[in-house]
Amino acid sequence: MNIGIIATPLTFIALILSVTAYYLYYRRNEESTLSLARMSFYTATVLILFQAALLMWGILTHHFEWNYVFSYSSRELSLYYLISTFWAGQEGTFLLWLILGQIYGLVIIKNRKEDEPLIMSFMLLVQAFIVLILIKRNPFTFVWDVNPGAFPYGMIPANGNGLNPLLQDPWMTIHPPILFSGYSSTMIIFAFAMTALVKRNYNKWIHSAYPYLIFVNLMLGTGIILGGYWAYTTLGWGGFWGWDPVENSSLIPWLTSLALLHGVIVQRKQNGLQKTNIFLALLTFVLVLYASLLTRSGILTDFSVHSFGASDLDQYLIGLVFLFTAISLAAYLFRVKDIRSEQARGGLVTRETFVIFGALSILILALLTFIGTSSPIITSIFGNASNVSTSYYNTIAGPLAIIIGLLIGMAPILRWRQESGDRLKAVLIHGIFALIIGGFAYALGARKAVSLMIIMVSSFAILVNSQIIVKKLIRKNYKFGGYLTHVGIGLMMIGIVISSVYDYSKKVTLPMDTPMNVLGYKLNYEGKIPAANGKDRVKIRVNSKTMFAKFYWSEYSRAYMVGPAVKNTVLHDLYISPIQIIPAEKNRRTGQQVVLKKNEQKAFENYILEFDGYEMNNHQMQAGDIHLATVLKVLDKKGNLLGTIKPALTMIGNKKSSISVPLPGTERAVSIERINVESGKITLRISKPVDKASPYYGKELLAAEVTIKPMINILWIGTILMIIGFLMTMYQRRTIRKA
Amino acid sequence: MRTKYIIGGIIIIAFTVLAAVSFKSSLTPYVTIAEAKHTSSTVQVKGERLDEGQFDIQKNLFIFHLKDDNGETIEVEYKGAKPGNFDQASHVVCVGRYEKGIFHAKSILVKCPSKYQEEESKV
């Protein structure tokens, strides 16, 4: 047995011991239990790091007798991708979660002495349950234990399966660790909220939890954005966001954590929203677990472009979601009557009311996205499992974006706790500028009301927040992270609307070495360029610039790997997604299918075809060879017989071929495509030569979708500003705490 | 003081209604071919592809035949070239609507038979 497999249950024991000891210390306050708790925690940390190091070592040194290494890596991988193999599979991602969780634990021990026992026991309880998954699915399991049929005991496979080519992308090496640190950090917020409930300390916890909460927001947001960028540049989904269940399931906890962040800001100012904030903290964590269930189980297989392997973990994950939902809900309901939140003071036009409306809008988006994502589960209760199309999400996200943009623009100028309607005059000028920008957008062709409104309110929000930043900069006050984040959000909304609502695309077939004009660009397909590592690319000349798009057969995925060529210009992206390469020999003739039943007549152009029956002909043939002809009468429109033709299928030895015959008096040829014995139908293919003057004649073709995505750079700039804003806020919180 | 609760309430009610309406209208149920033939709304049909299909360059149309689990077949027409990995897929999902003997697919989801763990490693 591998030493790693022994380490996993030991980790579980150490964590459970630590949870228990921490809890006892909380109850009895005996120093000895505290040191036991810490010792067990450190032991678990060492064990987890040991397993991680062992797995990494196994990957780097090609221990293909381990199922994980065998399943996700191969000798051909470069060091870079060998490292990312670590989180290519479920076991590795859980291990990554565990490492991050232990790091957060170390930070908590260092910073939060007074709450350490309870926070740690809740966090480590979650960790222990994650370790249980690893006990069930251990990365160090030998291949012959997993698949004894294929691998005799003790036989080390010469090479591994290799890494999914989609993961072999520079963005994919950083996207999972970042997203995971976001996911696992919701565990901290969960532990803080649970501790607050146990200690009946509903107000103070938010102060200590605040920097961690910003960390959660930063990491989830960055992870989601990197995922979107990866989908855009590598997957070639044609966009950065597709409302796919996998994407949604990471978006939902981010939205609830954003709402929580705003709720916490209000509570810090005026002690309101205590119940709401604890609820949102618990909810965010449960939603992360729910996300793990959705994306790791087979539940949504039919509804996502991702294919999920049904896994034996389903039951366990469902159990985990229910367990923590139950724990959270029970603790919450048990204490909720006890929470005496102060009424949110102040009237309608106050900062807190606007911030609360903002949080409410974010929550509505989270809830409706949750309902949409879960629609296959919801509808399966009533009948056929159905999925909502992306129009559902777009319909609700548009109006919410308008509200959010308006609030982001107005809230910053209002006073806390005081009616401040008088301040609204100050942003009148920004509003006028926003209207002018809207007028420009209209003149440039933006005609949809919702999009136009989003562009205007976002501009308004950007103007107001930028002005505040400038004012602060002049006073050498650098605490403007929040405003910068909101400028970023405003830019993102504009970028999203313009690039996805006002994009235009065309499906084209590009003949090789023949320049074609597409959407204002001269595109010339110059053929498929083989690559030494098997990752062939198609070469496309765009005006005078040569570009490459991924296009190769992957044995690993048993599929073609296709990626876009993206030409980024200041005002727009030219996005070329290859679809298919059609070989030259297929383009000498073009054809159509006709399906016929016996004795049936069907019109085809100026003819009527009648299928009279079959003719077997074994004449001059070897035994076992088959020559099956179909007898077809060809008539003209008036019903005059023009002739009888007999296209046939032959089977000589193992070689199947189709014999085509000319349609009387034309250049067309008729052949049998398929005979369906069950239904008695035959499918004929009637083909004619492609016009020799046509640019397509006899040339290799590249079918591709060409899209112009206007203003997408605004989106990327917005995301960067948003991330910088979060980083600034977090850094400043840290320095304040130190001071 | 009360106005803000009223406004909050209005926002919630408005979005509940909006969501309910668009949820219903954007729901694309999975149906059998027989069911697809009897409705004019957008549906999803999952089935086995019967042939490699034909791509008409001049019309920019891709046509193939689909058979569902009940053994019924249908002709599917898709605007554009053959989707990537079509030939490798045993089963495809077509989203679209049936009209005059032909299923007009707005999109075709190709399900590869491969062992293919979700490419994004998410919790």
Of A135-139, A497-501, A628-632, A719-723, the poorest mean pLDDT is in A628-632
Residue B102 predicted with pLDDT over 50: yes
Residue A448 predicted with pLDDT over 80: yes
Cα B60 to Cα A696: distance, rounded to the nearest angstrom? 12
Cα A390 to Cα A737: distance, rounded to the nearest angstrom? 44
**Quick one: pLDDT at residue A198?**
94
Of A16-25, A415-424, A612-621, A681-690, the poorest mean pLDDT is in A612-621
* Digit-coded pLDDT (tens) for A528-572: 888 887 788 999 999 989 999 988 887 777 777 888 999 999 999
| pLDDT greater at residue A278 or residue A149 | A278
Test the B interface: residue of A85, A388, A525 with most B CBs within 10 Å: A388
Buried/exposed code over A109-144 (b: 16+ C-beta within 10 A; e: otherwise): beebeebbbbbbbbbbbbbbbbbbbbeebbbbbbbb
pLDDT level of residue B120 (50, 70, 90 thresholds): very low
CB pairs under 8 A between A and B: 204
Residue A288 predicted with pLDDT over 70: yes
**Quick one: pLDDT at residue A213?**
96
**Quick one: pLDDT at residue B118?**
35
**Quick one: pLDDT at residue B115?**
35
Q: How far is A559 from chain B (nearest CA, A)?
A: 6
**Quick one: pLDDT at residue A719?**
97
Query: Which of A179, A306, A360 is facing B119, going by the closest CB pair?
Result: A306
**Domain coordinates of chain A in residue numbers?**
1-163, 504-585+696-712, 589-689
**Quick one: pLDDT at residue B117?**
36
Test the A interface: residue of B57, B58, B62, B123 with most A CBs within 10 Å: B123
Residue A154 predicted with pLDDT over 80: yes
CB atoms within 10 A of CB A172: 23
Strand pairing category for A559-562 and A601-604? unpaired
The string of DSSP letters for A140-170 reads T-BHHHH-TTTS-TTPPPSS-----GGG-SH
From the list A256, A644, B83, the residue with the least C-alpha distance to B94 is B83
| Domain B28-111: CATH class, spelled out | mainly beta
CB atoms within 10 A of CB A283: 26
User: Across all residues in chain A, what is the average pLDDT?
Assistant: 88
From the list A396, A376, A378, the residue with the least C-alpha distance to A387 is A376
DSSP-H helix ranges across B27-104: 33-37
Torsion, Cα of A609, A612, A618, A624 (10° steps): 90
* Closest residue of chain B to A311, computed from CA coordinates: B117
**Inter-chain CB proximity B119 and A166 less than 8 Å:** yes
**Quick one: pLDDT at residue B119?**
35
Burial of A228 (0-12, 13-18, 19+ CB in 10 A): buried
Using a CB-CB cut-off of 8 Å, the residues of chain A touching B81 are 507, 509, 579-580, 582, 703
Domain A1-163 classified CATH 1.10.3470? no
Mean pLDDT to the nearest integer, A8-34? 94
Q: How far is B83 from chain A (nearest CA, A)?
A: 6
Mean pLDDT to the nearest integer, A32-52? 96
**Quick one: pLDDT at residue A307?**
46
pLDDT level of residue A95 (50, 70, 90 thresholds): very high
B61 touches chain A (CB under 8 A): no
Q: Read off the amino acid at residue A299.
A: I
B56 touches chain A (CB under 8 A): yes
**Quick one: pLDDT at residue A622?**
63
Residue A276 predicted with pLDDT over 60: yes
pLDDT level of residue A654 (50, 70, 90 thresholds): low
pLDDT level of residue B114 (50, 70, 90 thresholds): very low
pLDDT level of residue A606 (50, 70, 90 thresholds): confident
Q: How far is A396 from chain B (nearest CA, A)?
A: 6
Mean pLDDT to the nearest integer, B94-112? 83
Mean pLDDT to the nearest integer, A118-142? 94
Q: What are residue A602's DSSP bridge partners?
A: A609
Four-residue CA torsion sign, A439, A445, A448, A451:
negative
Using a CB-CB cut-off of 8 Å, the residues of chain B touching A302 are 30, 46, 93
* Closest residue of chain B to A306, computed from CA coordinates: B118
Test the B interface: residue of A169, A316, A389, A688 with most B CBs within 10 Å: A389
**Inter-chain CB proximity B7 and A348 less than 8 Å:** yes
Test the B interface: residue of A580, A602, A671 with most B CBs within 10 Å: A580
**Inter-chain CB proximity A391 and B65 less than 8 Å:** no
Residue A162 predicted with pLDDT over 80: yes
Residue B99 predicted with pLDDT over 90: no
| pLDDT greater at residue A723 or residue A3 | A723
**Inter-chain CB proximity A557 and B116 less than 8 Å:** yes
**Domain coordinates of chain B in residue numbers?**
28-111
Task: Name, of A168-172, A350-354, B52-56, the range with top average pLDDT.
Answer: A350-354
**Quick one: pLDDT at residue A244?**
85
Which B-chain residues 17-36 have CB contacts (< 8 A) with chain A?
18-19, 22-23, 25-31
Residue A452 predicted with pLDDT over 80: yes
* Closest residue of chain B to A227, computed from CA coordinates: B120
**Inter-chain CB proximity A392 and B58 less than 8 Å:** no
**Inter-chain CB proximity B23 and A392 less than 8 Å:** yes
3-state class of B64 per DSSP?
A: strand
Sheet containing A661-662: order of strands: A589-597, A681-689, A669-676, A661-662
Residue B40 predicted with pLDDT over 90: no
Mean pLDDT to the nearest integer, A187-209? 93
**Quick one: pLDDT at residue A90?**
85
Mean pLDDT to the nearest integer, A39-57? 96
Residue B78 predicted with pLDDT over 80: yes
